[in-house]
Each structure stands twice: as C-alpha cells, then as structure tokens.
Amino acid sequence: MFSAMALTTVSLSGVATSQTASAAPPSSATAAQAGHTSANMAGMANMAGMANMADPAAAPNASGDDPDGDGYIMANPPVTGVTPSTYDPPHAYFHEFQAKCAPNHTAPDDPIVFPGQPGASHDHTFMGNLSTNANSTTASLEAASGTSCNAVGDKSAYWMPSLFNGDQKILPIGPQTIYYKTGVNDYTSVRPFPKGLRFVVGSPMQTQDEFKNLKGTVEGWECGTSYKNFNFPATCPTSPDTQLNIRLQAPSCWDGIHLDTPDHKSHMAYPIPSGANQNVCPADHPVALPMIEFKMAWPVNGDMSQVHLASGAGFSFHYDFFADWDTATQSAMVTHCINGGLQCDDHGYDQEHPDKGAVLDGNYQLIQ
C-alpha cells in the first residue's frame, strides 16, 4: 500500500503526452464488481452486507457508449507500445494539482454501473459536470454547458454515495478537493486522462478489512484528532470547525485499451511498489495517468451513531470518475504541475514557485 505521503515525496519534470506505450492484450474481465443497491437507503442506519446488492455484470445493458451492452468500451485510438517507465527523474517533493469541485445534485443514478437505468442505484452525491445522470455518455458530458468545478475546462463527472445522519442527507459544503498527482516514481511519464475513461474506486460490498487494506485507503475516516477509523467513529468533537473527512486514492495505471470494462476496474491498476517510493506501473497496465485522490469533508460531528452512507456502513465508501476535460486545459495542468514537479492549486499555480506562473487565469480559463 502506498500512502499519500509516499506519493508526494516522489520526484518529477516534463509531460510525455506523445509517448506511446506497450499494452498487453485485453484480458478478460474479472468477476464483476458487486454492484450498487437499487434501494434508496436514506434513513437506515446500517445497511452493510445487504443481500440485494446487484451484480452490475449479471445483466448487460446496451446504452450510450456501450451499444452492444457487453461492458467493454474501447479507446479510440488505443495507446500501444508503452513500456512502464523505470526512469528516476530529479527529486521533487510535489507533483500535483487540485481540482476544486462542489456538490451540485443528488440522485439514485450511476451512469457507469447502471448506464441508462435511472433510479437503479443507491443515492449518489454528484460533483463536476452539472448534467450527470443515468444516461450520461462522453458526448453528453462534452455537450453540457456547465460544471461545479472551478476550472471551466473540467467537465468530468465525480460522484460518491450520499451521506446521511439518520434520515437527513448531509452534503459537503462548497468546493471539495480532488487531487491529481503522480502515483509512479517517474512523474515525467504521467499523461492526461483520455476523454471517456471511467472507473470505480472501491466497492459498496467491501468488508471493513478490505476497505482498511485497499491500496488507495489513506487513514480511513478522520474527525478532530481521531484517525484510522475504517468505519464511522462513535463520536467526533463538537467544535464548530470539526468535520468528518476521508481520503481515498484511485489506481493510476491504465491498460491503454479500454475506457471501461464489465467490472469497471480491470482496465486500471495501482502502481507496483518496489521500495523507496519507486512505484512503477505493471506491464499489463503500462500507461501512467494522474492518480486521483478524493479529499471530502462533511459538516457532521458529535454523536455519529446514526451516520451512514447510502451504500451502507462507513467502510462501503467508494467513488466513481468519468473523465471529460478540455484537452488543452488538462494537458497544460498535467505538464506544468505533475510533470513539472510543482504543488499547484486549482489555478495551476505553486505559491512556493511564483516564477513558474499559473496555467489558468483569474476566471479559471486557460492562459493562452
């Protein structure tokens, strides 16, 4: 398991957007991810392990980007000929930028796990693209007119199970931080997400032990000075500034072939740690993409006994990502911040290196 600290102490330098990579032949999908429940679970205090969690691959559904309904969405063009980079670039403490995206709506929809099936999922809190619903496709996200991310070029869709305190739905307040950083030692090899790439991080069906040991889990649930809670803590400090927090990191190595697979995971992999933060992509997932880290905060504290997710207990936390950035904007952010070894805010600006400048202007538009 690699931690956020390990990832931020890796090094960096210039983007390889034109690099081509060696992808292994498409492998058959693994057993499908245990899916999202079709019930709206608001008001139930503990629903972990419910028997009616559906298997999303059990009944393929033709829709949107997957007209034959087999669960495979192919990259066009695929990225082939890549060998995982073992280059050790000059050391840099940071290689990241932030996306700041606010919640904008909730719905029992999931366009990745239940595409074209409104109401089939548990309730989700959506951030980013304002149009996201069960029928969302790459084209519909691209055509949408708005986003709740500060960067207007980020029309990606981000969503997670809604959080409840009893029967009251609690939404994060204002823009939440979604880090884009390197997951591999060679930060110069990280390239932008292709449009339409989508995946699920974690699973609503995971056990507490599985969540604790998930490669992307960082410290579990946090509130005040309470850390490493892999279910919701019984209580949190009641000070006004205390919120419930979680961080969860996504796999960042892509097979270069699929934008999605039936389990919504097999086309992605976590880097392989080899000691001293020398993380390298595996040979069958050789393409290094940004490592996304959700850092979410909910305004809830005090007695936590009635706090639960729409998917169940705290250890059922997971999230979905559907990529749709303006090509030039994402390329500039990745090149400047990740490949450039900087710790950028959501303007692509590093306060410790003002001489490097910013990527986005005061209106979060790409500086030409």
Q: Is the peptide bond prior to 175 cis by the omega test (within 30 degrees of 0)?
A: no
What is the per-residue pLDDT across 231-287, written as a single tens digit (0 to 9) for each? 999 999 999 999 999 999 999 999 999 999 999 999 999 999 987 768 999 999 999
The pair of structure tokens assigned to 149 is: 């991310």
56-60, 82-86, 224-228, 362-366: least confident range: 56-60
DSSP one-letter string for 69-136: -SS-EE-SS---B-------PPP-S--EEEEEE-EEEEES--TTTSTT-TT-S--EEEEEBTT-STT-
Cα–Cα dist 319/201, whole Å: 5
With a cut of 50, say whether residue 301 has pLDDT above it: yes
Q: How many CB atoms lie within 10 A of CB 291?
A: 27
> Is the predicted pLDDT of residue 103 greater than 60, yes or no?
yes
- The answer to whether residue 140 scores a pLDDT higher than 70 is yes
pLDDT of residue 344: 98
Are the C-beta atoms of 258 and 74 separated by less than 8 Å? yes
Cα separation, 1 vs 33, whole angstroms: 21
Q: Please report the pLDDT score of residue 63 as a whole number.
A: 81
| Range name among 191-205, 262-276, 284-298 with the lowest pLDDT average | 262-276
- pLDDT over 80 (residue 22): no
The first and second tokens of residue 255, run together, are 């097979």
Instruction: Give me the chain's average pLDDT, please.
Output: 86
pTM listed for this prediction:
0.85
